[in-house]
Structures are given as C-alpha cells and as structure tokens.
Structure 1
Amino acid sequence: MVNCASLCRHLAGMGTGQSVNSKRVFGPFRQKLKIIVAATLVSAATALVAQAATVSVTHAGGQTDVRTNPQKTVVLDLALLDVMNALKVPVAGVPGGRFSGALSHYGPDSVTKVGSMFEPDLDAIRALEPDLIIAGRRSTKAYPAVAEIAPSINLAFDQRNLVDSVMQRTRTLASLYGKQDVAEPLLERLNTSVKRLQTKTAKAGKGLLVFTTGGKLISQGPDSRFGVLFNDFGVVPAMTVFPAGKGVALTAGSLQALNPDWIYVIDRDASLGRNALSAKQLLDDAQVEKTAAGKNGRIVYLDPYNWYMLDGAGLNSLQENVDQLLEALER
C-alpha cells in the first residue's frame, strides 16, 4: 500500500522549490494500481465463467439452476434414460427393473440401481453424491424428496404433444451436456420420419389401439398416454367416445362391430416379462378375423417395452416406434 504521509511530504516540498522525482514518487503507486486492476479483471472474468457454467432450467417441478456438463447424473425415468443413451451421456445411477432393447446394457449389477421409478432409494442416491437428478412422469411424486439431495429437474413428457415434447427435452439435455452435435441429426431424422408417417396414416383408414393386460382387451384413445398414435402420428381413431379419457373394455364381438381398418396392439404383460395370456392369443378369434384389419393382415403388435415402459417416449425408442409403423403401413 502507498505511504500517504510520505507522499504528502514530497508533494509539499514542491511549494518550497524542492524538486519532486515523479518516477520515484508515483512509481510504487502505479505498480500497485496495475496489480489492483489486474486482480479486478481476473475476478470479473472468473465471475463471468462461473455464471456461464450455470443455466436455469424450467421444468415440471419449477425452476432449477444446474451446472453445465454435470459429471455424475442419476436418471429416474426410462424414457429420459433412453434420451441420455441416444446422446451418449454416461449416467451414475438408474432405476431398477427390466431393461430391454437399446437399454439392455443398464441391466447388469455393475450399473448402480437407485430404487424404482415410483419409489427411488434416497440413501442410494445420496451415496452417489450426484451433480444432477433427472426425474420423469413415474417419479413425479418423489421429486420433492430427491430435490433435497441434489439439483433436480423433472422433465416429464407432455403425452398430449409427445413428439414436440421429446424434441424439447432432448435439446434441453443436449445443451446441458454439450451434445448438440449428437442431438440435432437424430431430431432431424425423427421429424422427417414422423412427417412421412403422417402421409401414410392419412390414407390408411381408421385404426384402433388395443391395450391388453391380464386377459383383457382395452381400447385406448387420443387422450390416453398412448395418444401419440393419433395426435402426432395421424392415425384416424376408429373409436372416439372415451368416458373421462379412460380406456374402454372390448370383446371380440365389439371389435368386429367397430370393424377397424387397422388394429394396433400394446401387450402390457409382455412389456413386464410376465408369463400371461398374450395379446396374440387374445386376438386369435374368428370375430376379430372378420374385421377389415383381420382380413387384410393389418394387426400390428407394437413394441410393448417401448410403448408401455417408456410411455412411447424417449428418443431412440420413439424413432423405433415410428419406423415400425412405417414398415407396417408400407408393406
């Protein structure tokens, strides 16, 4: 620090004819000033970098400040895990359960399991000391609890507008992890194939979505969580009346009366790996065979894991669903 008293004495000498050596007097002051300015600039730059390294994410649980490129992430939703897998982002913990298809490599014990989607194991999550926790539809109720452990975001998909929602969630995650170069080609392909599918469904006649579980046949409509088939993919519904948006129980006889041009089937028991009466067995009926769909071989058994366990969402899985429908409609 500059000695003010000494400086004043030297300046006072100027009035008595004493010469002041400016370099000697102001030299230390100038040097100190340079150091102060440099330190200030470094501090400002550091603050800017810290600010740039944190982004505010608006989500179903509110708004959360998240550090970019989190190094240790826990994912509590299979469809969002599918997005992370598509973006090639490693994860530290996943929900336990059955893994299939592109998610099979998360099944081994070498991958840390953190409870279920509905009931996360808070102690297991806490032990991982994650930088970010990503929740989804099935873990929504658990969100407040996990949010107390680490920065958390609830990226549950909007099932009423699923394709756009998947694209938005994918871009959010790609931005967080610096994976935009991976995400954009995948999203462009998805967008192109969905538009192509819409041109096919517009000319395909009416379709019925049948959900099978425990030996029952249940019709699902546009307001169900499988509504993407109608709302985004463009299938014209053969059944339009659904009380309170719920499914409607069917019989082989009512299927024949509806006479859909296409029947799309989701086998819930198959998605869970249960040894139950399969959808094919349930639909192996003379009355079903008399429908337009039955006569023309237009009963499509959708990928049960993608449609039920992932709610038809995800990125790779959504693309797979579109590709399967395109293959069926273009036969």
Structure 2
Amino acid sequence: MQVLFWPIHGGYTDAFVRGEHEYLLPVRSVRPGEDGVGGGGGWERARPVALDDLRGEDIDIVVLQRPEEIDLVESPTGRVPGRDLPAVYLEHNTPGPAAFTTRHPLADRRDIPIVHVTHFNRLFCDNGIAHTAVVEHGVPGPGPLYSGELARIGVVVNEPVRRWRAVGTDLLPAFTREAPLDVFGIDAGLLREAFDDDAAITGIESVAPRRLHAEFARRRVYLHPFRWTSLGLSLIEAMHLGMPVVALATTEAVRAVAAGTGVVSTDVDDLRRAARTFLEEPEWAAEVGARAREHALALYGLPAFLERWDEVLLEAIAARPGPGVVYANANSGGNATTTIAAHAR
C-alpha cells in the first residue's frame, strides 16, 4: 500500500519506512540532503513527493502526526482524512503539564484512531471518544557493540539545558560522585556553562551519526534521568547495544527496563548506588547488559514493530476492529472501556 507520512521525527521515521509498503514523504517536511530519503540505508521504499503532486498519487492511508496535517492533506488532494482517506494519528508525546487531564486534539473524533507509542501515554492522555491503539517503538538494531571500556556514565538527551527538569538535567551532578558523565545530544555543549565548567560533565554533540552508537557503547553504564517525556529511543538503543541501564521509574521506563536488565527507581540514591556497582564490576555490567539487549530485541525489535504497524494500517483501511490490535472505545459513559483486542506481548 502507499502510506503518506511526514518524516518529522528522524529516528522514528528510520524504523517506520523499513516496512513492505511504499512510503510517500512530503517534500516540505524533508530536510535537504537528509540521508536515506529515496535512497539506501533502509529507506529504499521511501520517496519524497511535493505537496502539489499528492493529487496524482494513489494514497491508501495517511499517518498523521500533527493536527495541521489534516488540512495539509486535504488541500492538495481534495480528500478529507478520516472521511475520504483512511487515516490514523500517531502521537509521540506524553500529555502536557496537566498530565492525565490533558485532552488530545483528536479526542472528539470517531473517524481517525489515535496511535500512541507507549501504554503509559495512552493511559494518561484524555482520548475522548476516539478509538486508540498502541504500537510500541521499534529500533533498527545497532548490534551488540557494548565494550564498557570507559568507567564513565553515558547519557543521551537533546537540548538538555532548554528542557532541564523534564529530561532530568538538574539530576546529573548527583551522579558525578560516582563517575564522570558524557552527555551526547543536540546542544549538549551548553552544559559547560550551565554547570559552571564542571569537568565531570562533558557535553558531546559533534559525533557523526554513524559513529555515535559505537562511541556511546564504550561507556560502562547508561543513565536515563528523564522525568516527563515519552519513552526515549536512546534508552531502547542503549539496551540494544548491550548496555546496563539505570533509569528513573517514570512514564514507560518501568515497562521498558525489565527485572534483571537494569535498575529503575524514583530514588536517585538507589540509581547512584546501582551505577556505582556497574562501574566497579564490569563483568556484572556486561552480564546485565546482555540481558537488556535480549529484552530490547524481544519487546522493541524492528520485525515486531513493523508487524504491529501493518495490523493498525490494515484495520484503519478496513474501518473495523480486528485481531491483534489494541483498540478501545473511550466513549463508555463512565463504564469500563471496551477492549476489542489486545497484544499479549
């Protein structure tokens, strides 16, 4: 089938377009020179399409990710998503500051299902009368690159200064008591000024994407200090690499980090002690990291991700619920939500 999809999240798009369909990427949203678009690297089935040319495309379904995309599709094609064109809405984010009272922009619609990337997000978001589904993240496996040769703590976070408490940047100094921290990500270099040139916290933002995984896997342990974001791909990638992880027990992390694959807690001191143990016992760190990789491959492997997306896309096109997809009608009038089918994964 032909799937219309705006590549606004590079990491997610990289996994999504590796399926068996043809993926149409609107040119307005494709960054000039973006690697893989219409080319290799797993993007062979993806091709850019100018918005003005969409009318000539035989689009089977659109995966929306922003409310404005409804109009962006209707204007050039003359087809209204959810009425003339099958559509689903992929929601990447946790609800806003009001958390469980935040109402989703499509909460009043019955014609476009909302697809959440975590069970936590679906649970906390007010989805109104909209049907919902959960498709958990999938990551193109970087391979078991973990060496842990550097007794340092690795962190991955984009814009750590701007996003500060949401991503747990304020918690980083507590971990320098155990070992130096290397923080990878966009604008990580700003941490130097934010922490008054603290030599124990190094911001790294110049590593080429192709080298990032290998370089990051040299760190002994991965720290996931995020308070309130959707489940970060960096956590899943670290586990894919074979890294032991310590993570705040917030949002979806408690599901992602299974027993024996790392340590999750809301007590920062618990996490500090766990990090110290991994740093002092490299063989134990490698053993836990190997279990983390096995768990990540089972829960967040690319084949399962693409299979779940196929189910969601086909159900939306058929306009009726079916097996294998978590669909729930939230218009229960105060009664229990009706679950049509559920993944037992």
Query: What is the TM-score when the length of structure 1 is the normalising length?
Result: 0.32
Bigger-Rg structure (1/2)? 1
The structure where helix makes up a greater share of residues is 1
